[in-house]
Structure 1
Amino acid sequence: MIFQYLKYFLFHAIGLAALCAILMGGHYVTAGLLIILIAYMLGDAVCGDDTSTPTFKHPAILTVQLWAALPLLSLIVFSAVWSVCSGDPLGFGALISHLTGYDVIAAREGSQWYHSILTFIVTGLMIGMVGTITAHELTHRTWDPISMLVGRWLLSFSFDTIFSIEHVYGHHRYVSTINDPATAPRGRNVYFHIIASTIKGNVSAWALEKERLGKHGKGPFSLSNGVIRGHLMSLVLVVVAFLMGGLEACLFFIACGLWGKSLLEIVNYMEHYGMVRNPDVAVQPRHSWNTNKRISSWAMFNLTRHSHHHADGNVPYQDLRPYSDAPMMVNGYLTTIIVALIPPLWHHLMTPKVLAWDRKYASKEELELAKSANERSGIPAFMNAVNDPLYPVN
């Protein structure tokens, strides 16, 4: 059915809605942000789960669809940076006004300071959703140079090209263990995790590249190092923003990119929070929090089916299975992101779910790890649980 292909274009529709809101300025930015939030959160709440597993006879359509994220995100970010410029770089505003009949320059001049804050929020969301989510899928396709190139440029908007190294070769190997920077231990605050995972992720990526280059007799300080090349890609975008509107535009782009990067780390926090794994056991579906919410699945290329993705990272997004018996998140992705940003609410909802994970999914060895994690958590409910007969006696 053609709908099985079209449903994934919901992602592009949301991106185009954000683009229109940014260009129209003023209260349209407010409306655009509300539409995005409602589309994801209310959509997931009322539309239920998608557990379908259709067969796609033309997967190339779905790959080109992923590649289309790069021009879309480039236009969104260019428009956002343009919105804080005093001039009209490349005559962009005049061109849009001529093509649409809507005076975007006048709309920009009539916008208030707080509209720039809302534009920053929308743009960061799009860098995370249009950029990082798509790049996550593309950079797993290590056999496809076009997908890798598109994916790394998408990641450059959030200063996170190292994701294509650390995530694929580090996170997928060490997920749900203490050796994984992206796995949040029990009791950790999401805001601390954003910083800790970012720093440790960069350190891990550098170590992985240094090891890879060493096998070929090369040192780490060269353009052969993917970490260095990736950060130079991000630097190009910073320079473009500066040329467009000086320091103000440059700082605005950097802020949007860092917000987009933070979204990735919040998602990492959600996807594996509190889980433990015996490092000697292969990663299984039970080692990731899953969700099958319909709108999140369609608009995020089945990132929601995270349990299957970690069980086999080479499976294309359209072929991921729902694994309805896997451990489930609080709700869809955007709803869970907002819950994670409110630590008391997060711990109130997730502590019982993590303890239930111990009872239902943990192996004997993992129960030992879970007990130690509970003791270190600083969360009373976890610490009190160590006396449960479920956990082995030291």
Structure 2
Amino acid sequence: MIVHHIARWPIKNNNPLNEVLTMSTTYQINHPEKGLIQYTDQKRYLWMASILLPLLAVSGVAGYFWLTSEWALLAPLVFLYGVVPALDNLFGSDENNPPEELVPQLEEDRYYRILTWLTVPMHFIVLFAMAWFVGTTELSLWAMVAVALTAGIYSGLGINTAHELGHKKPLLERRLARLALAVSTYGHFCVEHNRGHHRDVATGEDPASSRMGESIYKFMLREIPGAFRRGWEEEQQRLQRKGKSVWSLENEILQSYALSAVIQVGLIATFGWVMVPFLLIHNFWAWFQLTSANYIEHYGLLRERKENGRYEHCQPHHSWNANYIFSNILLFHLERHSDHHANPTRRYQSLRNFDNIPELPNGYFGMFLVAYIPWLWYRVMDKRLLALPHIQGDLSKVNIDPAKRDAILAHYGKQAV
């Protein structure tokens, strides 16, 4: 049962939008043992920010025409890497969970999935708009690079959109995921992520799980080619089981890559050779956004190997979590990564917080900046990693970079059990 009602929040003026913005939705059920259970998602309409976030990329272009200054092109970068971390600290965390009895109702509410569907075309709009701007405007080299980086970041957010859609069973959502990945030319992501990363996460076998002592730059050189290889291997095996060639039209990776080729060749044909450096920077930086997320999400965490040689089932403490309100609203709750890995098909609005799990000291964008300075990352995260309740200084429970193992054991060995 879904009950719509108007929340009793102060209305400062007679703007008709106030009624929409203050409307919330209450889910309820008469439980045979617990009685009436109700839940209201106070962030219901704030999730719309996830749709609007990609459009922020063009704010720099708008500022360029308004202020006639190339410096305005830096605005989207400053917002993500400067303003968002500050707002995460300002607004703090939300540790509330929906009652499990009401999760089926919450996940059946089409409003939430429609938001993810509407986000997909936004990624195309942003790429085309930024390409048009670079292709038709005389810019300095640094300004072109700034625009390409901005476009890459926001196309990288398309991988996050695909991440949410690609885990779902409906064919429409999985096809939309492939479309979103075409913008960043990362069509192998859903195959690799769903069938590889979720299977191998927090183990030494996973190229997408970072290790203690491994810098983000070393991780990048292992993660990007490793994920590409594993994605193709998984898709080849799937097609072979169906008696199909890897070059079959049923290859989900090729379907996304084909659209990527059409888009990027089309942009070069339309706007000329300036698109080549623009797209190269764009593509790489979009990929690096995923690398950055993967790096901070599982740093140093390790699943226990059982006597039969298999790893234990992935638990919430095998992922770094973050409950920061602002960045989670922008990222479809991606930062509640602990529950996502424990329950991959769970929709973003239903993801839960848990007690005594690894917690990041800031949201993703703030932690990206820390990760880009390796010595600072180690200083912030290594002691936090070793202090986790399930590790308590035991280095045998940590995923350590083999090249740094001796140095780490020498430095922290006194804490090892």
**Cα distance between partner residues in 2 of 1:324 and 1:298:** 21
Q: 1:236 to 1:205 in 2, by over 3 A?
A: same
- Using the TM superposition, give the Cα deviation of residue 254 of structure 1 relative to its aligned residue in structure 2, in angstroms: 2.9
CA contact (8 A) 1:375 1:382 kept: no
CA pair 38-384 structure 1, distance change in 2 beyond 3 A? closer
**Higher fraction of helix:** 1
**Greater share of strand:** 2
SS in 1 for 2:400: helix
Which shifted more, 291-300 or 321-330? 321-330
Structure 2 residue 54 is the aligned partner of structure 1 residue 10: no
Whether the aligned pair in 1 keeps the contact of 2:145 and 2:278 (CA below 8 Å) is no
Q: Deviations over 1:250-309 (max 9, x none)?
A: 331232121011110111011001111124310000100011111111111111100000
Structure 2: distance between partners of 1:57 and 1:368: 39
The 1:4/1:219 distance shift into structure 2, 3 A limit, reads same
- Aligned ranges 1:33-72 → 2 under 5 Å: 33-54=77-98, 56=106, 59-72=109-122
SS at match of 1:80: helix
Q: 1:378 to 1:344 in 2, by over 3 A?
A: farther
Number of the residue aligned with 1:96: none
Amino acid in the other structure paired with 1:40 = V
Q: Which of 142, 151, 159 is equivalent to 1:132?
A: 159
**Cα separation, 2, equivalents of 1:152 and 1:241:** 20
2:172 equivalent to 1:122: no
Q: Provide Cα deviations, 1:1-22, integer angstroms capped at 9, x if missing partner.
A: 2653211112233322322322
Q: Which residue of 2 aligns with 1:187?
A: 213
The code of the aligned residue for 2:117 comes to W
- Counterpart of 2:328? 297
Structure 1 contact 44–296 (Cα < 8 Å) conserved: yes
C-alpha separation between the residues in 1 aligned to 2:48 and 2:147?
A: 23
Moved more, 231-240 or 378-387: 378-387
1:379 deviates by 7.5
Q: Is the 8 A contact 1:266 1:337 kept in 2?
A: yes
Structure 1 match to 2:412: 385
The change in CA–CA distance for 1:363 and 1:353 in structure 2 (over 3 A counts) is: closer
Residue type matched to 1:186 in 2?
Answer: M
User: AA paired with 1:317?
Assistant: Y
Cα deviation per residue 1:216-254 (whole Å; 9 max; x = unaligned)? 122323222223333222212211211221221133123
Task: For 2:304 and 2:284, locate their aligned partners in 1 and report how far apart those are by CA, in whole Å.
Answer: 33
Range moving further from structure 2, 112-121 or 76-85: 112-121
Shift, 1:57, TM fit: 7.7
Alignment pair present for 1:83 and 2:127: no
Structure 2: distance between partners of 1:389 and 1:149: 47
Question: 1:221 is matched with which residue: 242, 247, 268?
Answer: 247
> Structure 2: any 5+ residue segments left out of the alignment?
1-23, 26-41, 65-69, 306-310
Q: Within 1, Cα distance between the matches of 2:375 and 2:192?
A: 30
Provide the aligned C-alpha RMSD in A: 2.3
- Residue equivalent to 1:105: none
One-letter amino acid matched to 1:195 = L
Going from structure 1 to structure 2, the CA distance change for 1:374 and 1:213 (only over 3 Å counts) comes to closer
Return the alpha-carbon distance in structure 1 between the equivalents of residues 402 and 193 of structure 2: 28
| Distance in structure 1 (CA, Å) of the matches to 2:74 and 2:223 | 31
| CA 31–185 in structure 1, closer or farther in 2 if over 3 Å, else same | closer
- 2:59 maps to a residue whose letter is C
The DSSP-based 3-state class of the residue aligned with 2:274 is helix
Looking at both structures, which has the greater relative contact order when contacts are Cα pairs under 8 Å and sequence separation is at least 6? 1
CA contact (8 A) 2:164 2:347 kept: yes
CA distance in 2, matches of 1:376, 1:344: 16
Write the letter of the residue equivalent to 1:177.
Answer: T
- Among 5, 12, 29, the alignment partner of 2:73 is 29
Distance between the aligned counterparts of 1:377 and 1:267, measured in 2?
Answer: 22
SS at match of 2:312: coil
Letter in 1 for 2:111: I
Unaligned runs of 5+ in 1: 87-107
C-alpha contact (below 8 Å) 2:120/2:161 kept by paired residues: no
- How high is the TM-score relative to the length of structure 1? 0.85
Identity %: 27
Residues 1-394 of structure 1 aligned to structure 2 (within 5 Å): 1=24, 3-25=42-64, 26-54=70-98, 56=106, 59-86=109-136, 108-109=137-138, 112-129=140-157, 131-141=158-168, 143-279=169-305, 280-357=311-388, 360-362=389-391, 368=396, 370=398, 373=400, 376-378=403-405, 380-390=407-417
